[in-house]
């Protein structure tokens, strides 16, 4: 009798355990974050909300967009990703539920730069900042200072010591290039980027990663996002990272789908991502992102960059506004810089030689010619207003028909202008060198 009663109680307890487990609400989260990042959030969220089970679907940004456009948004409840373009596109299609953002705890801006949807349909969860990865020992060995501004990278002494990503081949690079134009203006920004590229080895995805190149001592400076270097440094790499005077940020976001039937569970997960506990996970050595809560930086590791305390530099890069022109920026970078990189380096070396001679002799006509040569060497064949009108023809993926015909025609016109300007810059520089008795050779 006692044994029967014991088995009854044991079975009842086991049944209650099963029913409790079965009662946990399943929340479908679509993300592109790597498993080692997601697993940390899963484990931490489970401690806070054991009644909610996260089911993770992994999709890269280009695959996530069509997935979320399926009937009932593919059964997804929460989208959590750094794919800013996807959030904007789906907002226009009324795909998100509005979030109740606590702007006192989680501001929508860093200084003047917006990082979250102003209407509250998606929220920033973390940021990455653009700047300069450094190998301090390499810089010491070559007697080079650590750069502090984007303009520093264009200085002649940095020639051959830089790594710069090609926007059409490296995912984070289109915005990197574009923020230079936003910081310095379209024409000056392109001239600056041209001279920086002349000092650089260009790199594309698929080869040795930039942190590995710097750690090996082959180069001293890489223009990059901070978290690549922050994580490497936290795990022992002999590197450092410097933020320029004008910092641009690339935020990641979270949104709740309009078709979700589990809004309370979805809100709980979003609130966890934005909570102090959720934000502090970003400090982990394998993650090293910038939290979007100012108050969580009180528990940041020593030396951690604090964007909300560095935001008074007056630079307000609006990624949402500029996103549509990034494919055009990538195409222009290829035409102006990447596809003629060796010739570009030779051209800038020639212009710099001519400038040195003109300055040494102090002759007004020489100085005027070198100024014109410099302007032509760094010129871009499209004005900012023309780029705005043309950007709709450039898409992230190749197209055919009239749109592609327009793109091909534009690229052909660019090429003619680029060659014409380069030839004239070379002619002027050689004239100065010849007049200075240095000859016009390279």
Read off the pLDDT of residues 194-248 as tens digits, 9 standing for 90 and up.
999 999 999 998 888 899 999 999 999 999 999 999 989 988 999 999 999 888 8
The residues near 198 (Cβ < 8 Å, ≥ 6 apart) are: 159, 344, 345, 347, 348, 349
Residue 146 is given by DSSP the state P
CA 312 vs. chain centroid, Å, equals 21
Residue 403 is given by DSSP the state H
391: left (phi over 0), alpha (psi -120 to 50) or beta: alpha
Q: Is pLDDT at 16 greater than 70 in this prediction?
A: no
Q: Rounded to 5 degrees, what are φ and ψ at 189?
A: -65, -45
Segment 91-146, tens digit of pLDDT: 999 999 999 878 889 999 998 888 999 999 999 999 999 999 999 999 999 999 99
Angle at Cα 139 formed by Cα 136 and Cα 144, nearest 5°?
Answer: 135
Contacts of the segment 400-409: beta carbons below 8 A, 24+ positions apart: 407/331
Q: CA 382 to CA 411: how far, in whole Å?
A: 10
CA distances from 242 to 71, 200, 202, 429 (A): 46, 18, 20, 35
Buried b / exposed e over 9-21, threshold 16 CB at 10 Å, is: eeeeeeeeeeeee
* CA atoms within 13 Å, Cβ hemisphere of 55: 9
What is the DSSP pairing of strand 249-257 with strand 78-81? Answer: antiparallel
Three-state DSSP at 116 gives coil
Q: Rounded to 5 degrees, what are φ and ψ at 232?
A: -65, -40
pLDDT in the model for residue 434: 94
* CA atoms within 13 Å, Cβ hemisphere of 119: 10
Three-state DSSP at 130 gives strand
Taking residues 261-289, what's their average pLDDT? Answer: 95
Q: Are 211 and 232 in contact (CB under 8 A)?
A: yes
Segment 30-86, tens digit of pLDDT: 999 999 999 999 999 999 999 999 999 999 999 999 999 999 999 999 999 999 999
Residue 409 binned pLDDT confidence (cut-offs 50, 70, 90): confident
397 C-beta neighbours (distance < 10 Å), count: 6
* Percent of the chain scoring above 90 in pLDDT: 76
- CA proximity to 22, closest of 57, 56, 51: 51
Residue 300 is given by DSSP the state P
- CA proximity to 259, closest of 74, 121, 99: 74
CA 152 vs. chain centroid, Å, equals 20
What is the DSSP pairing of strand 78-81 with strand 25-31? Answer: parallel
Q: Report how far apart the first and last C-alpha atoms of the chain are (Å, whole number).
A: 103
Residue 294 is given by DSSP the state G
């Amino acid at each position: 009798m006692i044994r029967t009663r014991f088995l009854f109680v044991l079975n009842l307890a086991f049944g209650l355990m099963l029913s409790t487990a079965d009662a946990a609400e399943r929340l479908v989260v679509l993300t592109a974050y790597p498993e080692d990042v997601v697993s940390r959030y899963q484990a931490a969220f489970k401690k806070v909300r054991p009644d909610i089970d996260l089911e993770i679907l992994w999709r890269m940004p280009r695959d996530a967009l069509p997935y979320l456009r399926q009937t009932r948004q593919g059964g997804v409840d929460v989208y959590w990703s750094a794919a800013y373009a996807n959030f904007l596109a789906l907002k226009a299609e009324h795909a998100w539920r509005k979030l109740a953002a606590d702007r006192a705890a989680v501001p929508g801006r860093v200084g003047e730069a917006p990082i979250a949807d102003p209407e509250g349909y998606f929220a920033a969860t973390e940021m990455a900042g653009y700047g300069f990865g450094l190998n301090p020992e390499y810089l010491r060995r070559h007697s080079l200072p650590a750069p502090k501004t984007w303009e520093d990278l264009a200085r002649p002494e940095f020639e051959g010591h830089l790594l710069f990503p090609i926007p059409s081949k490296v995912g984070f690079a289109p915005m990197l290039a574009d923020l230079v134009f936003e910081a310095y203006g379209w024409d000056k920004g392109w001239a600056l980027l041209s001279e920086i590229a002349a000092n650089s080895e260009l790199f594309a995805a698929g080869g040795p990663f930039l942190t590995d190149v710097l750690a090996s001592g082959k180069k001293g400076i890489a223009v990059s996002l901070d978290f690549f270097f922050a994580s490497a440094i936290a795990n022992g790499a002999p590197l450092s990272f410097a933020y320029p005077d004008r910092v641009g940020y690339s935020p990641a976001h979270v949104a709740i789908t309009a078709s979700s039937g589990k809004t309370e569970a979805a809100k709980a997960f979003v609130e966890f991502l934005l909570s102090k506990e959720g934000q502090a996970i970003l400090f982990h050595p394998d993650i090293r992102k910038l939290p979007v809560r100012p108050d969580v930086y009180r528990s940041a590791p020593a030396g951690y960059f604090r964007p909300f305390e560095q935001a008074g530099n007056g630079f307000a890069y609006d990624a949402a506004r500029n996103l549509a022109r990034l494919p055009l920026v990538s195409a222009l970078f290829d035409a102006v810089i990447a596809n003629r990189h060796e010739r570009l380096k030779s051209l800038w070396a020639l212009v710099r030689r001519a400038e040195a001679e003109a300055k040494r002799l102090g002759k007004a006509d020489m100085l005027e010619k070198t100024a014109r040569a410099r302007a032509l060497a760094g010129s871009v064949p499209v004005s900012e207003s023309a780029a705005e009108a043309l950007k709709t023809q450039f898409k992230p993926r190749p197209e055919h028909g009239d749109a592609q015909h327009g793109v091909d025609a534009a690229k052909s016109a660019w090429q003619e202008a680029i060659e014409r300007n380069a030839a004239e810059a070379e002619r002027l520089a050689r004239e100065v060198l010849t007049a200075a008795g240095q000859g016009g050779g390279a």
